């Protein structure tokens, strides 16, 4: 068993069910791994936190919730799809205790289907964080984002990030974030991800998205880019994280992708797990 892994999640109460599914998938591939789940939130009700606590206790892990009220972004473009909880990850170095030196941020809308230990143990080589870029076959979207945000590096997806918190505390500034939001607000399509790329993309160590942040919408794109080699068998053997970017999300009825069934299987397995461990009312 490797050292304890520190996982960061930032959600509101509306995403607790997907969060439980994600954490259950994480548990299924790390049965002997010690974990602390750091949950940064603003106002999740105590009763709902208690249910999450019970689930995580059953895994043998630690839940460390941190309620945040002081780190609210001035005039941040927060809408239903991008609640302000998503911004907490940008300031996680300021929010979390100083003894936490490294953390792995995971979006709630993903599945872990293989071990994350190689990512957790990755040498960041002095970089602020590690993340993946969804380049696609033509790389057109990446180029447009570079133009839109005035950057010269790949456009990184912020759904999976290994963060050096000591460097984050030195580098990431709430003043710079607020200034970027004020200046580029109308152009921020994915607000916190755009801010991350504009301000801190040059400090990112890139990791392969087909392994660490596989976009579930783009199976055909991955297959084409690999000349037919990265098929579903390779995904199940080599991919560690399948990320359900965009809409509809896999827990919605309108979702019907190649990976929807995989997601729903974890949902059903979690339901049975809760019944077996008496985590649901009869």
3-state helix, strand, coil in the chain (%, to 5): 45, 20, 40
pLDDT of the residue at 145:
53
What is the reported pLDDT for 42?
A: 87
The token duo for 27 is 């548990």
Listed in sequence order, the DSSP H helices in 60-136 are: 92-95, 117-120
* Both tokens assigned to 263: 């997601």
Position 140 scores a pLDDT of 46
Which residue range is the domain that position 13 belongs to?
A: 5-276
Q: What is the CATH number of the domain that holds 207?
A: 3.90.550.10
Answer whether residue 282 is part of any domain: no
pLDDT block averages, 10 residues each, the chain of length 282: 86 95 98 96 94 97 89 57 73 94 98 98 98 69 55 85 97 87 77 87 96 96 94 97 95 93 98 93 58
For residue 137, what pLDDT is reported? 42
Q: What is the pTM of this model?
A: 0.92
Domain-embedded: residue 256: yes
Residue 281 forms part of a structural domain? no
In a domain, 189, yes or no: yes
Query: Kindly report the CA angle at 98 between 95 and 102, in degrees rounded to 5?
Result: 90
Q: Kindly state whether residue 171 falls inside one of the protein's structural domains.
A: yes
Number of domains, the chain:
1
At residue 110, the pLDDT reads: 98
pLDDT at 261: 96
């Amino acid at each position: 068993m490797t050292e304890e892994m520190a996982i960061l999640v930032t959600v509101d109460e509306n995403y607790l069910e997907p969060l439980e599914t994600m954490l259950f998938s994480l548990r299924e591939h790390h049965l002997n791994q010690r974990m602390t789940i750091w949950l940064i939130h603003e106002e999740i009700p105590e009763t709902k936190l208690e249910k999450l606590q019970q689930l995580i206790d059953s895994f043998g892990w630690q839940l460390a919730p941190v309620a945040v009220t002081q780190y609210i972004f001035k005039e941040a473009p927060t809408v239903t799809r991008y609640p302000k909880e998503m911004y907490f990850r940008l300031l996680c170095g300021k929010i979390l205790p100083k003894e936490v030196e490294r953390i792995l941020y995971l979006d709630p809308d993903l599945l872990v289907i293989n071990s994350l230990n190689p990512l957790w143990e990755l040498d960041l080589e002095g970089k602020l964080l590690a993340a993946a870029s969804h380049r696609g076959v033509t790389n057109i979207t990446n180029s447009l984002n570079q133009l839109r945000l005035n950057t010269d590096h790949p456009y990184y997806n912020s759904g999976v990030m290994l963060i050096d918190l000591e460097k984050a505390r030195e580098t990431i500034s709430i003043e710079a974030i607020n200034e970027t939001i004020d200046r580029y607000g109308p152009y921020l399509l994915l607000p916190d991800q755009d801010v991350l790329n504009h301000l801190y993309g040059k400090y990112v160590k890139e990791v392969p998205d087909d392994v660490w942040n596989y976009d579930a919408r783009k199976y055909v794109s991955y297959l084409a880019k690999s000349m037919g080699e990265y098929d579903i068998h390779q995904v199940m053997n080599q991919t560690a994280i399948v990320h359900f970017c965009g809409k509809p999300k896999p827990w919605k009825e309108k979702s019907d992708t190649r990976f929807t069934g995989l997601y729903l299987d974890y949902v059903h397995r979690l339901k049975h797990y809760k019944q077996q461990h008496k985590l649901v009312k009869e």
